[in-house]
Structure 1
Amino acid sequence: MKTIIQKLENGMCVELPKSIIEKYNFKVGQEIDIEDNLVVLKTSQNQKYNLQKLIEEINDANLHDEIDFSIQK
């Protein structure tokens, strides 16, 4: 994805499309890291998951066999 740096009063900003913001659950005020000319956006560790969205992402490639956690006697 490419975007443009824009002027913002006393600084600059980068606009993210709504689809990216929703997909990665970005929030206003969220910290970013800048490492060796690379800007890294990371989702919060306190991310709230949406069960319906998680279920929709299940497919044959990421579906595993059932695991039995019962205690065997």
Structure 2
Amino acid sequence: VEAIERAVEADKDCGAILHLVASVRGAMSGLTTDLIEAHLAHHVRDVEDAEARRQGSEDLVAVLRSYLK
């Protein structure tokens, strides 16, 4: 993100800035996917307690609702 700020402040070419934005977006998507997978593993799939699994599922749904707006 700092690279985008520096590029804008340096009045770089719009195409170059858009390329940076796309790269950051891709990296954030990958990180989001990894975090969702980890959450599912630790708070849903591998949890024996039904109430804890329910809470883990509800937490993920709440985050996804906000993320997908």
TM > 0.5:
no
Q: Which has the higher strand share?
A: 1
Larger helix share, 1 or 2: 2
TM range (shorter): under 0.3
Point out the structure with max Rg over C-alpha.
Answer: 1
State the structure with bigger RCO (CA 8 A, min sep 6), 1 or 2. 2
